Amino acid sequence: MSQKTLSVIGGGSWGTALAHLLIEKGYVVRLWVFEKEVVRQILEKRENETFLPGIYLNPSLHVTNSLEEALEDSSLLVFSVPSHFARGVLSTLAPLLSQPVPIVSATKGIETDSLSLMTDVMKQTLPSSVHPYLAVLSGPSFAREVAQGSPTLVTLASENNSVAQELQGVFTTPCFRVYTSSDLVGVQIGGALKNVMAIAAGVADGLGLGFNSRAALITRGLLEITRLGTAMGGEQQTFYGLSGIGDLILTCTGELSRNRRVGFRLGEGVALQTILQEMHMVAEGVRTTQAAHRLAQKFQVRMPIVSQVHALLFEGKDPQKALRSLMEGPPGDETGAD
């Protein structure tokens, strides 16, 4: 498969890093980028200065603003578009798919209006012939470190075992180790909701509450993610793996985490709108908080951290009061009441 063309849809930091990884492995890679300025940067400087500065991109990487051109002769599609743009881009590329090919979602988010996971959005927009070939890539993987060749372990989930194994071979490198899973729901819920918990952890850090508070938020956050994920049909063991606690720890503690940075700035007293205006890249956790809050109500799952992050982001609650609310009331049994 190494001589076939692979298409990466989305030129943010993660899409660019994956395109970089695949072309360094010897594949022919076409990268679709929405922003014409980013296309120009890569063509002229071989660098995505906006989303992944400082990483030299292989001159063989084909970058384009045309979906039709990006999909030409493609045998694999890697989808890395922010969740709130996903449906529109998928609907546009659907008629351009000339044959069924594996499609890997690398987007860690939930569609806010429909509460759909990314593979559900794909099933709603793409031809039924490609549905058996859908997969998800997730796990603790900062784009910059992947692009720099830092050792990274991730999970690739597909309900089709042969597809999972084929894609495992495509993505695996000496520095990028890929494990397979059949739990599409669990892997996507873990990848999306860890961003909400990272905002909470960032708030605690911004308030200067210390390591004890951060550890407590991560631990209780994992419980909330597991509650919702299993209620939606995910497997409990998934949340104790790379796409669950692995990604949660990274995003709640790592300095490269955009969502933790949003929370940190909120903890410092900066308004959300100001924070978002300062950022070039999307912090999926802000929109995912809305989706998670509604999903908790839909599935009748107690998610106090999600509730307080929602109150902080969308109801004007003071960060100190939001964190204090999590400490009030009887603690109860560790695996039961909060």
- Which residues are marked as active site? 194
Q: Write the single-letter amino acid at 187.
A: V
Q: State both tokens at 28.
A: 């022919």
Diameter over CA atoms, the chain: 61
Q: Are strands 176-181 and 152-157 parallel, antiparallel or unpaired?
A: parallel
Two tokens at 183? 């739990």
User: How many Å apart are CA 234 and CA 136, to the nearest integer?
Assistant: 14
Could you give the CA distance from residue 204 to residue 313 in angstroms, rounded to a whole number? 14
CB 194 within 8 A of CB 306: no
CA–CA gap between residue 175 and residue 26 (Å, rounded): 15
The radius of gyration computed from the CA coordinates of the chain, to the nearest angstrom, equals 19
Separation of alpha carbons 252 and 217, rounded Å: 9
The sign of the torsion formed by the CA atoms of 103, 119, 312, 206 equals negative
Q: How far is CA 291 from the centre of its chain?
A: 14
